[in-house]
Structures are given as C-alpha cells and as structure tokens.
Amino acid sequence: MRTIATVFTLAVVTLLAQPSSSYRVTHTYTLGGDGSWDYVVPDPPNHRLFIARQNRVMVVDEDSGTLLGEVTGILGAHGTAVAQATGHGFATSGNDQSVVMFDLKTFKVLGRIPAAEDADAIIYDSASNRVFTLNGDAHSSTVIEPRAGTPIANIQLGGKPENGVSAGDGKVYANITDTSEVVEIDAKAATVIRRWSTAPCKQPVPMAIDTARHRLFSGCRSGVMAVSDYQAGKVVATVPIGTGVDGAGFDAASGNAFASNADGTLTVIHQDTPDQYHVAESVQTPQGSRNMGLDPANHRVFVVSAKFGPAPVGGRGRAPVLPRSFTLMCIERDPAVR
C-alpha cells in the first residue's frame, strides 16, 4: 500500500512539475494586400512593425494592427533597417540590386542606393553608424552611410549570406548558409576578421543575439538552432527546432530564444546557462508562419501568414496569396505561467 501511495505521489509531483504552455496568440489582425512577404522588423521606440511585401514595405502599429503607411517603389522587398539617429529607414530591393532610403516619419522615398545581386537582409549598426546589406547571390555586404545614403564599401563574405545582427560593439555577424558558417565583420574597417563553422547545423538562415552573454542563435534548415559563443568563435550548443525556419529572436528578460518555422510552429528555447538550453515549448501557428519579429521593449513576438491559392501549373513558383488573407499575429507570454 505504501508503495502505491509513493508511486502516486511521485506521479502527481512529476505532473505538477511539467511546464504549462506559457506563450499564446493574443491578437490577430487581418492586414490583407497582395504579394508574398519576408522580414518582420520591429521599431520598438515607435511601437511599429516594418513588414516586407514584395513591392513595398507595410508599416503597422503594434498595438492596434492598423496600417500606418507603406514604403513603395520596391522591386523584391526583403529586409528593413531603422537608423533612428538619422531619421532614415532602409529597405532592400532585391530584384534591382538596390536599397531604398526613406523618411521614418512620412515613409516617403528619399533615394535609391546601389547594392548588389540578391540584396536581402539589412541591419543597422549603431556603434559605427553604418547600414549593412547582406547580398545573397553576390556573396557580399554593401556598407552604407545612413545620413546621406551613400555607399562606402562592398565586403566579400566568401559565401551566401542570409540574416545577421549587430553586437553593438563595432562587430556585425552574419550566417553564411551555403558553407554553414558565421562571419564576423569589423564594422568600421569594413572587413571580415573571423569565421567559424556552425556544424552540426547546416544551412543557417535567421540569426538572433544575446549581447549580455555574447551568444549568437543561428536557426538552421537542418532542424536545429546552433548557439555560438561569439567571443570564442565556436558553437557551444544545438537545440532541435521545427522545419523551414526563417525567423529568430532572443528576449533577454525571459531568457528565451525563438525560432519561427514554416511547419506552423514557434519553437521556444530557454537559456539555462550560456552553454545549456532546452526546448521549453512549441507554440502552434498557421502553416507558413516562417518570419517573426521580437520587440524587446514589450517582449511580444509577431508572426505573419496567409492563405494560398493553387500552385502554378508545372509546380514552379509559389502559390499566390489569396486576397484579404494576409494576417499578423501577436504572441505573448502568460504572466501567470512561470
């Protein structure tokens, strides 16, 4: 009898110890509009999101889901960078190998800056006061001075870059997807100063950063997230994630990293120590919710998705986005769950 009671007690304790789902979709906003999408970039001081939509960038209020305006005249919209110090935003226009500079208040286009083939992600580094594009097919990064919008240099990266981050200390990091590496760029010198393998991760795409503990998070198409110590220049941990990852983030307040995946999951990874991690939960999202933005000011995660029509005949190209189906979702942590 005592044995049965002991087993029952252990079972109850184990059940209570299992973490409840702490993240959930709290708001859903139908934005509509034609075209595919790419990066979702928060602008924390102004509570806005910049969402790339094929031929434009949608600017959306985080709190209400209201469309505030659009940056137009883009051919193949991918990434957006916000340079608050100059009042300028920068959006990559991949199909014509350029960057569109715009006013952060009016969203008016101010100029077009030459970049390189497949200009994709773009980031602002406050330490050097420079903007860096990541040009996939050109295997390069175009460096831009953000006040006048003038190109400074083109850095050869030795492979196809995807997403990247600024460490805020004069260093910029980028995933090189075809060689499965991370490159470290000296922002002021505009040169690659170091690189390391992300093995066993293959095809790293999105990247996030923990500047306090000097960790990079590379979401890999091989189904893992690789965590690198960027001071030592090496991978210290890998954690399983969903398939088709295209977005990542790190929230210092909760110690959670995120991977948004095309399979309809948001993988939440908790940082136990700088070198130890575990999957805390997998939040269900709509299929295709592969891009995300994390606002560190309010700790909200934003993902987007849509409904699709039939695939093109012959199976080439993407299925069209159905009218009025493009949707923004806000994912928040339940404060009652610890």
Pick one of 2.130.10.10, 3.40.47.10, 3.40.50.300, 3.30.70.270 as the CATH number of 38-197.
Answer: 2.130.10.10
Give alpha helix (H) positions in the chain. 2-17
Share of the chain above pLDDT 70, in %: 93
pLDDT digits (tens, 9 = 90+) for 190-206: 999 999 999 999 999 99
Q: Is the domain 22-34+202-338 a CATH 3.40.50.1000 member?
A: no
Residue 17 in this model has a pLDDT that exceeds 50: no
pLDDT digits (tens, 9 = 90+) for 245-278: 999 999 999 999 999 999 999 999 999 999 999 9
Q: Which two tokens stand for residue 104?
A: 């952060």
At 319 the pLDDT is 79
Residue 91 in this model has a pLDDT that exceeds 50: yes
At 334 the pLDDT is 85
At 221 the pLDDT is 97
At 338 the pLDDT is 55
- The model's pTM is 0.91
Residue 46 falls in which region: left (phi positive, over 0), alpha (psi -120 to 50) or beta: alpha
At 21 the pLDDT is 64
Per-residue pLDDT, averaged over 310-319, amounts to 78
At 12 the pLDDT is 39
CA separation, residue 64 to residues 47, 55, 134, 148 (Å): 10, 24, 32, 33
Contact in structure between 178 and 198 (CB atoms under 8 Å) = no
188 — pLDDT class (breaks 50, 70, 90)? very high
At 197 the pLDDT is 98
Q: Which residue has the higher pLDDT, 317 or 95?
A: 95
pLDDT digits (tens, 9 = 90+) for 18-34: 445 699 999 999 999 98
Domain residue limits, the chain: 22-34+202-338, 38-197
